[in-house]
Amino acid sequence: MSPEVKRIAEPKAIDNYMRKLFSVKPVYLKTKELNIETGSFIYKDDQVTFEVPDTVSEKNINLYIRNGAELFIARATITSRSGPGYNCKVNEILIMNLPRKEERISPAEIKAGAELYISNIISDVTLKQNFEDNKRRMGALKNDIEIKLGKKYDKVKIYSVSEQKYDARMTYFMMERKPYFIKNTTERSDDEQYRYYIEFIYASDRDTDRSIISEIAVPLLYRYMLPFGYMQVNSRKPLSDEDFSFLKKQGMSISTFFTNDKTFIKSSDDRISIVDLSMTGLGIIFRERSLIRHFKEGNFLIFTVFLPDKKTTTVMCQVKNINVFKNGSYKVGCSVLNFDAIGEVNYTEYLESISGNG
């Protein structure tokens, strides 16, 4: 659910917020990919002056601060520029209540000497590139699977992220990451999967043979979490629960093959420090500009979290924000979507041990 937005457009109210909040807190410039901390921020005579190291190409900009659970966004128009400095006028302020789901544990609460970091990093962008680099090999594997399953089913399709763009099924699997089974498209159902399938997937298949009435689709998952494709099977008669079970096993087998083949999908061994964490999110920080290649707001990532006592957990996250500080360091905030089973136990036990609940 989207947060409720309070809009402030009255000049005196804008002036009050700018003087009492924006003038005393760190202010960030929101760009398409980064949140850049401003320097030399001054508010005077209804005008804002600030500096950032990068060139601001847009005339209309968003400057924001956090104050507790509230996010304040000042929508402004740049009026002039001098070197790294920009002058602008604030047109309105938006206020949103955006509390975290739970408090994260900060570095001060982490036990002394305990180094927490992530490595074995791979993003959905990197994953796509890996498959594009191995198109010929992927094509041979795809043809082999389609021929074998084609002896049993009317239609078989193996889709991978090396395709030009996500289709309706891949879009679904990026959101849900679980298989679906549509037994008979001619029989109406109130089932959520059926309704989504009819409205978004079936309707988008313009070249579909309408004598096809049944479909099973299974996501192919790197490390059993991050989708890199799917397996689709169709029939002119209703498929069975036995078919569903069989195809889920086939999907698991394909996922295992690609997860274990280190020559096909290559994760990065870069090490990046963790600065705060909870069960629903974590923050990482680094200074090396080259590491930003792993992160883009909205992208999905899988990495290994290295905990004390040689314990680890595999985590799937979505990048929520990227902040660039005045000292040149980057902080990336991630929302946790999934853990591997054993790793979740390790992660939970570690959090309990440092939060005083263990």
Contact by Cβ (8 Å): 339, 277 = no
- Measured CA to CA, the distance from residue 163 to residue 259 in angstroms comes to 19
pLDDT of the chain, 358 residues: tens digit per residue: 566 899 999 999 999 999 999 999 999 999 888 899 999 999 998 899 999 988 898 999 999 999 988 999 999 999 999 888 999 999 999 999 887 666 667 645 555 556 799 999 999 999 999 999 998 888 999 999 999 999 999 999 999 998 778 889 999 999 999 999 999 998 988 888 999 999 999 888 766 677 899 999 999 999 999 999 999 999 999 999 999 999 999 999 999 999 999 888 989 999 999 999 999 999 999 999 999 999 999 999 999 999 998 999 999 999 999 999 988 999 999 999 999 999 999 999 999 888 765 4
Instruction: Determine the length of the chain.
Output: 358
- Measured CA to CA, the distance from residue 345 to residue 202 in angstroms comes to 40
Which domains, from first to last, does the chain contain? Answer: 5-97 (2.30.110.10), 107-122+267-355 (2.40.10.220), 135-260 (3.30.450.40)
- Measured CA to CA, the distance from residue 188 to residue 195 in angstroms comes to 9
Q: Which amino acid is at 231?
A: M
Stated pTM of the model = 0.82
Which two three-digit tokens encode residue 8? 């402030």
Beta bridge partners of 225: none
Q: Which amino acid is at 140?
A: A
Which two three-digit tokens encode residue 303? 């990495």
Count Cβ atoms below 10 Å from residue 138 Cβ, excluding itself: 21
Secondary structure (3-state) at 65: strand
